[in-house]
Amino acid sequence: MADSNKKLTKNVFVTVGTTSFDALIKTVCSENLIEVFRELGYSKILLQIGRGEYEPPVMKSDDFCVEYYRLKPSISEDVSSADLIISHAGAGSVLEAMGAKKPLIVVINDSLMGNHQVELAYQLYKDGHLYYGTCCELKNLLRTVDLRKLKPLEPGRPEKFGAFLDQVMGIS
């Protein structure tokens, strides 16, 4: 039986992978976005800030907290305990979040030249698996999207690819 005094919390996990994406960390930690998270019922934000220069202020109160770390060997525990994941557009981070079947908002780093990550985010958005935007659009995205409408990414079926290769190579 659950402890009736235990407070139910909704957690946001923000990841920038091994890169630096200070603009995302600053955006998520801004007073405007903290207020939006509170309005949406979230009470904790855990940030994985990678190699960024910006170190956000740690916030701890009775009803809300913000914590961070740079890197660790695995983020799988943080991903699995999150109710919402906000991620940079790196394929590894995106696929880990989607593999855990967690609601995902991908934030494009529009300061990167020739940003190929937009293509991945756009295709997965078109397929209904995530929402995406820039730091400037994040507040509006949080307020307007329906995370319940996201579709889980179905696991790959490598046997189909193997059969296709066998057919092309004339093996089968």
**pLDDT computed for residue 159 by the predictor:** 72
- Predicted pLDDT of residue 1: 44
What SS3 state is found at 23? Answer: helix
Taking CA 99 as the corner, what is the angle to CA 93 and CA 105, rounded to the nearest 5 degrees? 55
pLDDT tens digits, residue range 35-46? Answer: 999 999 999 999
pTM of the model: 0.86
Tell me the one-letter amino acid at 161. Answer: F
Determine if residue 161 is left, alpha or beta; phi over 0 gives left, psi from -120 to 50 gives alpha, anything else beta. alpha
| Token digits of residue 18 | 């091994």
Residue 131: the pLDDT is: 98
Task: Supply the mean pLDDT for the chain.
Answer: 89
What pLDDT shows up at residue 34? 97
How confident is the model over 134-148, as pLDDT tens digits? 999 999 999 999 999
Residues of the chain whose pLDDT is less than 50? 1-7
pLDDT at residue 5, rounded to an integer:
46
Residue 113 CB-half CA count within 13 A? 0
Sheet holding 59-60, edge to edge: 59-60, 65-69, 44-48, 11-15, 84-87, 104-107, 131-133
